[in-house]
Structure 1
Amino acid sequence: MSLFVSSLSVINLALARVFTLPFHDEYGHIVLVFDGQPISLLADSGSARFFVVYGEWFERQYGRGSCRRHNMTCYFCPVEAPCDDIEQRDRITVGYAEGLDVYQYVQHSGALDLGQSTANVTFGVVVDYTSKYNVAPTPTLGLSFGRADIPKTFLQQLKDLNVIDTLSYSVHFERFCPYEQGKLVVGGVGSKGQDTIRLPLSMPPELKRRLHVPIASMGIGERPEVEASLSRDGSRKIIRFSLQDRVALFDTGNMGIDLPYTVLSALIEELEAGVSTLANSRTLRVENIMWWEVDRPMVWVIRPNHVRFLPTIVYSLVGEGNETVDIRISPEHYVGTCSYDECMVYLYASDDTELVVGEPFFRAYDAHVDLEGEIISVEPQPPRPAAHLRVGHEPRRLLLPGVWQLC
């Protein structure tokens, strides 16, 4: 019980009207309490959906006792408010991961614990789900723009309840521990510090309204140890690729970042050049440097001793006044959990109009999203004292847009 009690204790409903939710793991999950039941939800800026998973369906699907094994995943209707008709209600269908994960949920109302009080809110309850990769469904807290064709968002409901003043939130990941956590602050205003970068959101007509910022170009920068050796005003080598009609999608619910194929090819060439300087490595084949893991869904893998040769990735985005600003994402941000003989590299190749900028960005920058002002304010996090690898268990996330996993 201590986990969610301590989480709720930091919720602040004072004059500032903000709602603070700590991440309880390194994957951006927060805890909300529905009808007295703590549920772990993925904080997902790439989605506007708000749903939990129906416990009775989950146990039929994954076996008796599965809700206990998948801690804080299942929602059950309380005894005093039974919902025997829940699986007969009108269903809403939504696909994630390019349609590889399909959720069906119904609308339901219940009491949301706000720390000092409770409020009645409406949320989805998943009653069916399919996945190509045989992973469990993820309760989701969508943080994107609402739309007329979907139920009212979590943020809009909090504003209607006067819990927050504005449709806004800040995302912060902690930096200096192997299992990085942080917090989601709903409501409030963004930083106006000297290093703050303001990125107006755009609305490409062919795409749904989400957190899009135009991309001017992308580039491959120096390796971090090379950059560190340069003076502050020294030149930095960046191999740039001009992009037209591309937008970045800022998505906390995605564990990776998208690169056009040409940029990924340049990154691999830079990696090969660095690895070739090692003794006995000149004849090393590229597939033995960084390779695609076929028995796991869409994972690049690299040897730990080769991580230091990965370059910095640079997104040149269109900021205020149409000025171009560089966003830099280092290997420490896009290389994930490592075992003793391999590390996961969370990069995807894509030539789509919409290029996902996921968790690695949010590890490199603090971000404040103002949906009403249609702007993202970002500020670089201070560099770590020294680059390190996160050594530990296998990542428990699906490597596709919009979805991480709890199991």
Structure 2
Amino acid sequence: MPLLFAASLYIMYLAESDGVTLPFHDEYGHIVLVLDGQPISLLADSGSARFFVVYGEWFERQYGRGSCRRHNMTCYFCPVEAPCDDIEHRERFGVRYAEGQDVYQYVQHSGVLDLGQSAIQITFGLLVNYTTKIGFAPHSTLGLSFGRADIPMTFLQQLKDANIVDILSYSVRYSQVSQHATGTLVVGGSATEAQGTAHLPLKLIPGARRGIHVSIVSMTIAHAGASPAGGDSGRPTPISLDGSLALFDTGTCCIAVPYLVIAALVRYVRERIGADPRVETVLFRKDSLSSYMVRSHHVRFLPVIVYSLVGEGGKIVDVKIFPEHYVGWCNVIWCEVHIYAHSNGGEIVVGEPFFRAYDAHIDLENNTTAMTAHPLRPSWEKTLQVAKQPRRIKICDI
């Protein structure tokens, strides 16, 4: 069982801290869970409460015999001890992602979750149907948001009920060695208090599903000359968003902002480039569900994006996302910018770029989040030519 042995390296059970540490095993924010002896890669998604994996027999019917072997750690097959003979007759649950472009249907199943030093019985979904308008294969999801009565019990709640963790909380800690998402997801435990840690209350949207939302006052396009931890950013007039909420979503590679913010960013870059008749567009994208592209030699002109959020006691907390956090893959000509624009009324989403810039702890029981800024990496632009392929875009709904 060499594959299972390798998968065990992805999981560390920390009994002394009443938590489970799950390393990200790739640059896309995936962790590995071992279910009935099978290592499965799941997207760690704070923008969703769903917990499901791809059912192997369905996947091979859709993508061809042997496709599960070609897509390592994608498929789950029901063992003899927990057969799926009645899977077509089980109740189905549905969820939509990518603004309704991806539709998932799954049924409930029970199995054994191996946590290294212990194992528990756990219930999870099996994906039995999937449609997409954007052409991507389905992925397994580990939802980290608030549970609710109309969906199956969350992963976090099941760990608490099994006395693996004592509180519904988790920390996201990305490494600064790479421009991609490496680091760990720590389930359970409390926030690490460090110098500069800010605490913010989570807010409930009246009449809406609960999510990891924080009140936002404004956004600003500012000069990228200060560290995220503080200092003078030389910022111009803020763009007022008073009364809005920002969703903290590890499941999307982008930050979603109003078009007003994109317009301010374009003006900022144009001013820094200067009068150059050869520059027709600063940013472009292929379609409304794509992130933006920028010329690689213009990356040095990109600004810091500042979110002014409401912290404890009404104190304003400035969250600063620098170009090194939101610039993705590059080639000789173009770089992908992990920013997604929506029209008025769309949700403001603080996605993976935020988690590259800050360690974050989410406490679902006390409705708080704590964040601590990472130091900026020196000479980060020199790493931009490493990635050869664009990131898969995931703009996820709750």
TM bin, normalised by shorter chain, reads: over 0.9
Instruction: Give 1:320's aligned residue.
Output: 312
Instruction: Give 1:377's aligned residue.
Output: 370
Distance 1:141 1:64, change over 3 A: same
1:252-274 superposed Cα distances (whole Å, 9 cap, x missing partner): 00111122111110100111112
State yes or no: 1:126 paired with 2:120: no
Q: 2:252 aligns with which of 251, 254, 266?
A: 254
Name whichever of 182-191 and 86-95 sits farther off.
86-95
Instruction: Give 1:368's aligned residue.
Output: 361
State yes or no: 1:401 paired with 2:396: yes
One-letter amino acid of the counterpart of residue 370, structure 1? D
After TM superposition, the structure 1 = structure 2 runs for residues 3-402 of structure 1, keeping only pairs within 5 Å, are 3-8=6-11, 10-12=12-14, 14-222=15-223, 224=224, 226-227=225-226, 234=232, 236-276=234-274, 282-287=276-281, 289-294=282-287, 297-350=289-342, 351-352=344-345, 354-388=347-381, 389-390=383-384, 391-402=386-397
Distance 1:396 1:57, change over 3 A: farther
* Corresponding pairs, count: 390
Distance 1:60 1:359, change over 3 A: same
1:243-300 superposed Cα distances (whole Å, 9 cap, x missing partner): 1321000000011112211111010011111222xxxx6103432x321125x95131
One-letter amino acid of the counterpart of residue 247, structure 2? L
1:353-398 superposed Cα distances (whole Å, 9 cap, x missing partner): 6311000000000000000110000000111122224321323423
The answer (yes or no) to whether the contact 2:202–2:213 under 8 Å persists in 1 is yes
The answer (yes or no) to whether the contact 2:99–2:397 under 8 Å persists in 1 is no
1:134-171 superposed Cα distances (whole Å, 9 cap, x missing partner): 21111000000010111110000000000001000000
RMSD of equivalent CA atoms? 1.8
| CA distance in structure 2 between the aligned counterparts of 1:169 and 1:132, rounded to whole angstroms | 33
| CA distance in structure 1 between the aligned counterparts of 2:7 and 2:233, rounded to whole angstroms | 49
Can you give the 5+ residue segments of structure 2 that lack an aligned partner in the other structure?
none
SS at match of 1:317: strand
| CA distance in structure 2 between the aligned counterparts of 1:98 and 1:179, rounded to whole angstroms | 24
Distance 1:160 1:326, change over 3 A: same
The answer (yes or no) to whether the contact 2:99–2:396 under 8 Å persists in 1 is yes
TM-score, normalisation: structure 1: 0.92
Aligned-pair identity (%) = 55
SS at match of 2:13: coil
SS at match of 1:102: strand
Can you give the 5+ residue segments of structure 1 that lack an aligned partner in the other structure?
none
Q: How far does residue 68 in structure 1 lie from its aligned partner after superposition?
A: 1.1
Distance 1:32 1:56, change over 3 A: same
One-letter amino acid of the counterpart of residue 11, structure 1? Y
TM-score, normalisation: structure 2: 0.94
1:330-360 superposed Cα distances (whole Å, 9 cap, x missing partner): 1111111112221111111122263110000
1:191-232 superposed Cα distances (whole Å, 9 cap, x missing partner): 22220010100101043100010111111110x2x447xxx8
The answer (yes or no) to whether the contact 1:298–1:399 under 8 Å persists in 2 is no
Q: How far does residue 185 in structure 1 lie from its aligned partner after superposition?
A: 0.3
The answer (yes or no) to whether the contact 1:247–1:353 under 8 Å persists in 2 is no
| CA distance in structure 2 between the aligned counterparts of 1:130 and 1:253, rounded to whole angstroms | 19
The answer (yes or no) to whether the contact 1:105–1:125 under 8 Å persists in 2 is yes
| CA distance in structure 2 between the aligned counterparts of 1:34 and 1:323, rounded to whole angstroms | 44
| CA distance in structure 2 between the aligned counterparts of 1:399 and 1:365, rounded to whole angstroms | 20
One-letter amino acid of the counterpart of residue 285, structure 2? W
